[in-house]
Amino acid sequence: MKLVLPFLLSSLLLSALAAAAASDAVLDTDGNALKRGTEYYILLSPGKQSGLTLASRNGECPLDVAKARSEDDNVLPIRFYPADEGEDTVRLSKDANFQFLAYTTCMMSTMWQIRFHEAANRYYVSTGGVPGNPGKDTLSNWFTIREAEDGSNSYKLTYCPTVCNFCRPYCGDLGLFVEDGRKWLGIRGPPLSVVFKKAPEETVSV
């Protein structure tokens, strides 16, 4: 009996830890945890048949992240890479690199990064970021996924990296704003509600 009780307590503790770990995983539309390096679509929620893509502002590089005009308008697959290289699951409020899987005419990285545009006085989600190496030199490349607060069982995207203890980045939820007849992703409220749908393995040209 003395041996059984510690065993039961240990089993209960392990079960509780496993449940806690599962509860903070970001889930796709099939209810499965998002995994490092796996391809997904970021789709607008709830019930909006559109997602995110890349587009050029004023015909220039780098390309910025924009709302696709329809579900068939080159909604791009994306991969997530947690800052913790030993972590295979994408977790809530944990820093990760976001990278579109696409070939572009700009011939540069499709890794997301925050870019401040002085003329517009606005922070855009752009491309050209570098993978890994969490710290002050890569501060602009890290994003997080959090639960949306609109009761829709969806998520929101946030820029507020924690990969540098002494840095004080400009933080905010990611939302859409209209410029030149197109909706662009940037630090602007209200936050965009999204879901993640597993994508077939393919590469898209932009």
For residue 206, pLDDT beyond 80: no
Domains defined along the chain, listed by start: 27-205 (2.80.10.50)
Q: What are phi and psi of 7, to 5 degrees?
A: -65, -45
DSSP of 95-154: -EEEEE-EE-TT-S--BEEEEEETTTTEEEEEE----S--SGGGGGG-BEEEE-SSSSS-
Give the closest residue to 142 by CA, choosing from 99, 173, 113. Answer: 113
Cβ–Cβ < 8 Å for 145, 133? no
**Which burial class, exposed, middle or buried, applies to 201 when counting CB atoms under 10 A from its CB (0-12, 13-18, 19+)?**
exposed
How far apart are alpha carbons 19 and 59 in whole angstroms?
A: 48
Q: What is the pLDDT of residue 103?
A: 87
Q: What is the pLDDT of residue 6?
A: 45
For residue 13, pLDDT beyond 50: no
pTM: 0.85
How far apart are alpha carbons 125 and 16 in whole angstroms?
A: 38
Which residues does 108 contact at the CB level (< 8 Å), separation at least 6? 61, 62, 127, 128
How far apart are alpha carbons 183 and 69 in whole angstroms?
A: 9
What would the pLDDT profile of 22-61 be if each residue is shown by its tens digit? 569 999 999 999 999 999 999 998 766 689 999 998 888 9
Q: What are phi and psi of 17, to 5 degrees?
A: -65, -40
For residue 175, pLDDT beyond 90: yes
Q: What are phi and psi of 87, to 5 degrees?
A: -100, 120
Q: Where residue 150 falls among pLDDT bands split at 50, 70, 90?
A: confident
Higher pLDDT, 17 or 139: 139
What would the pLDDT profile of 112-145 be if each residue is shown by its tens digit? 999 998 878 899 999 999 999 999 999 999 999 9
Mean pLDDT for the chain overall: 86
